[in-house]
Amino acid sequence: MRVAFPFQVRHRWCELVVKHTYAQAYADVEHFLIHDQAMGVYLYGELMVHEDPEQQALARRCLSLVREEMDQSARKVVEEMIL
């Protein structure tokens, strides 16, 4: 069961997970990128900049799941970062 934390708390948690490569919580990042796309662009960038293969695979997987539903301009920015 997921606790309903405010958007800012969920986003900050995901930032910390990525920064510290806390793989046990990558499911939280995936959930955020899929269900809270508003700040997702920033997190995609963070996932790619650390050059961690597992994080980069997570970013690519999430993009493939939401590509068609994303705002076109956001999708273009994320695709440029990832591809």
pLDDT at 2 over 70: no
Task: Tell me if 34 is assigned to some domain.
Answer: yes
Widest CA span in the chain: 35
- For 62, residues 6+ apart whose C-beta sits below 8 A from its C-beta are 29, 30, 33, 34, 40, 44
φ and ψ at residue 43, rounded to 5 degrees: -65, -35
C-alpha to C-alpha distances, 37 to 24, 53, 67, nearest whole angstrom:
21, 22, 11
Domain count of the fold of the chain: 1
pTM across the whole model: 0.89
Residue 77 structural domain? 7-82
pLDDT at 1 over 60: no
pLDDT bin (cut points 50, 70, 90) of residue 5 is: confident
Task: Tell me if 32 is assigned to some domain.
Answer: yes
Task: Tell me if 2 is assigned to some domain.
Answer: no
Q: Which residue has the higher pLDDT, 5 or 23?
A: 23
Q: How far apart are CA 78 and CA 83, in angstroms?
A: 8
What is the tens place of the pLDDT at every residue in 17-70? 999 999 999 999 999 999 987 678 899 999 999 889 999 999 999 999 999 999
